[in-house]
Amino acid sequence: MDLNKLKSFYDGYGMKSYEIFGAHLQENGTIFRVYAPNAKSVRVVGDFNNWNANETFMFKSDLGFWEIFLENVGEYARYKYVIEDKKGKLVEKADPYGFYNELRPGVCNKVVSLDYPWKDQHWMANRDKCFDKPMNIYELHLGGFKLNSEGKWLTYYEMIDVVIPYVLEMGYTHIEVLPLNEHSLDASWGYQQYGYHSCTSRYGSPYQLMMFIDACHQANIGVIMDVVLVHFLKDTFGLGRFDGTPLYEPSNKKHNESQWGTYYFDFSKNIVKSFLLSSVCLWLDKYHIDGVRVDAVSNLIYYHGNKGLGENKEAISFIKRFNYHIHQNYPGVITIAEDSSDYPKVTGNEVEGLGFDYKWDLGWMNDTLKYYEMDPEYRKYDHNLINFSMAYFYSERFICPFSHDEVVHSKKTIVDKMWGSYEDKFRQCRNLMVYMYTHPGKKLNFMGNEIASFREFDEAKELDWFILKYPIHDSFRRLCRDLNMIYKAHPAFYKYDYDHKGFKWIDADNNHQRIYSYVRFDDEKCYVVVLNMAPVAYESFEIGVPTYGYFTEIMNSEKDIYGGCNMCNFKKIQAKKGKIHNMKYKLNIRVAPYAAIIFEAKLHNGGKNV
C-alpha cells in the first residue's frame, strides 16, 4: 500500500484513494479495505463464505481502516460488508469504493479488474476544452434512448452500433450521459447514488462500458458524464451512518438532509473530500471520461441552495480544490457547472472564482422558453427576454442548454412548449433551434429534442422513434442535423464564443415587429442572423450589414425541406451602401412568418467598415 496516497486520503487530497480502498484482485486472491473508524467490528460476507457474518472478521489497522486478504476470491465474486456499531447493532453495507455491483434490487458488490486495452491514444493526446472549437452536446439517458427487440435495455456493447452511428449522423461532437454511477431507483436517473466508484450494472460490465467509450473516442466523439457531488442516497445499505456514526453526512440535522430526501455530504471532513475526488478521478483514469458536469452546484455554494441561508464555505473550498486538481492532472478534461445561482465567476480561476471551465446558462434557457411560450402578440412587451442574455454573456463561459430537466415533470417537451397550433409549434421550434445554434456559447440538447418529441422523457421507455415516419418530425430532425453541420463548418459560430469581437447586434430593439438581427464573425466571414418572432411576412425587409458584397442564404427555417412555406431568398443578395442600424451597408431580404435565416458573406477590409 502506498503510504503517500493514504496520507493524501486523510489530508483531503486523495485523488487515488480508490487504489487503496475497495476490493483489489491480487495474484492468489483479493484484498478488501474499508474506512469505518468508529465501527466496533467489520466483517466481509459473500459467495466465498456463504454470506456467514460470523466467519470473516476484518482486521483494524492502526491507521483507522479495516482490511483482510482472502485467498481464492476471484473476479466477479459478490460481497458486502457487515458493520457493527458501538452498541452492537449489525448493518449490511455496500462498499463505498466498490467498482461494480449486482443488478438492482440487489446491492452487493462484485470484485472486478478495471484493466482494459485502450485504443484511443490519439484521441487522448489531442482532446482539449474546445473554448475556440465547436462543442455541440447530445445529452443521453442510456436506458431511455433505444431498447432492444425484446423491450429491454441495450448493453454498453450494443450501444456501440446504435448510439455512435446516430451521433455521427446527426453531427454532434460530444455526448453527455446522465450519471452512470450505481443507483437503486431507476426513476432517480442516477442522481441518487450509492456506488460512487461503480458503473451501473443495468447495461453491462465495466469492461463493456470501456469498450463503448473507447469506440466513441475512435469515432472522435467526446464523452461527458454527470457527477453528483452534493448529496447521496439515504438507504441503510449506502453511505448514511456508515460506521454507526454520520461519517459522510453532517451530524447537524439542520444541514444534513436535502430537498430530494437524501443526505448532503459534509465538506468539513477531509475523508469526504478525498472520497469525492477519488470517485471522479476513477472515471477519468479508468474510463477515460473527457468531462464532468457537476450537478446542483448552487447547493454546493449555498446551504440547501438558498442564498439567504449563507455560503457553505467548506463546500466552496472543496469545489475550488476539485477544479484545480482536475485541471492540473487532467489538462484536457472539461468541468461544467449546472448552476442556477448568480454567484460570480463560476468559470473564473480557482483564486477569484470556482474554477469551472463552463457554466450552463440557465437564465438564457428560462428566458428563451418563456418568450417562445408567449402569444406572439404580447411578445413585444417582453422583448428583453431575448436580448438580455448578451448583456451578461461575457461574464462567464456559458453553455446554452435544453436539457432533460426541461422535458419532465409536466413541463412539456421543447416543441410542445411553443405557443399556438400544431403547425405553429413546429415553425417556432425551428426558429428556436436556429437561434440556439447562432447564439454565442456551446450547445446542449437532450435526446428527443431533435425529433420534436411531444412525449415527456420516461426512463422506462425508449424515444418515440416511430414519429419519424411523419414528414414534419423527420424534416425537423433534418433541420437539427443541418444546423449541427453548419455550426461545425463555420468558425464564426464557435471561434470567438467568449470574445466580444465574435458577436454584434444589428437590431436588438425592434419590439414592434418582433424581429431580432445580429452578426456572428470569424476572421474572414460574417453571418447575419434574422429571427422573426411573429406570424407576419415581409417581401421587402431592410437590415444593416457590416460589409459590402454579396450575401448568400445558407439556412432558412421556412425552407420546404424542413416543412416550411418555402418563402426564402433563393438568389445571392448584394448589399447596398446606405446607413441603417448604425452600419454603412444595408440588405433587402424576404422574411417568412416565424422564419429564422442565416446569411453568409465575405468580410471586406477585415470587417472594419461596420
Q: What are the residues whose beta carbons fall under 8 Å from the beta carbon of 156, sequence distance 6 or more?
A: 142, 203, 204, 205, 208, 209, 211, 212
In 367-434, DSSP assigns E strands to 398-402
| Active-site position among 243, 295, 450, 482 | 295
Q: How far, in Å, are 187, 244, 298, 412, 490 from residue 409 at the CA level?
A: 12, 36, 21, 8, 37
Listed in sequence order, the residues at least 6 apart from 419 whose beta carbon sits closer than 8 Å to its beta carbon are 372, 373, 374, 375, 376, 425, 428
- 68 DSSP β-pair partners: 32
d(CA 598, CA 610): 18
Alpha-carbon gap, residue 157 to 204, rounded angstroms: 8
What secondary structure letter does DSSP report for 546? S
**Taking a C-beta distance cutoff of 8 angstroms, is the pair 343, 305 a contact?**
no
How would DSSP label each residue in 163-178?
A: HHHHHHHHT-SEEEES
Residues recorded for the chain: 610
Tell which phi-psi region holds residue 459, choosing left (phi > 0), alpha (psi between -120 and 50) or beta. alpha
Number of CB atoms found within 10 A of residue 342's CB: 11
Q: Residue 32: what are its φ and ψ, rounded to 5°? A: -110, 135
Q: Alpha-carbon distance 421 to 290, whole Å? A: 41
Q: Are 93 and 232 in contact (CB under 8 A)?
A: no
- CA 40 to chain centroid: 41
93 in Cβ contact with 103 (< 8 Å) = no
Which of the residues 19, 85, 243, 338 is marked catalytic?
A: 338
* 382 noted as active-site residue: no
215 touches 156 (CB < 8 A): no
Cell numbers for 4, please give them: 503517500
Q: Work out the angle between the directed axes of helices 471-489 and 163-170 (0-180°, nearest 10).
A: 70
Give strand ranges (E) for 143-273. 174-177, 181-182, 195-199, 222-227, 231-232, 263-264
Q: DSSP for 51-82, please give it.
A: T-TTT-B-EE-TTSEEEEEEET--TT-EEEEE
Active site annotation includes 560: no
User: Catalytic positions, please?
Assistant: 295, 338
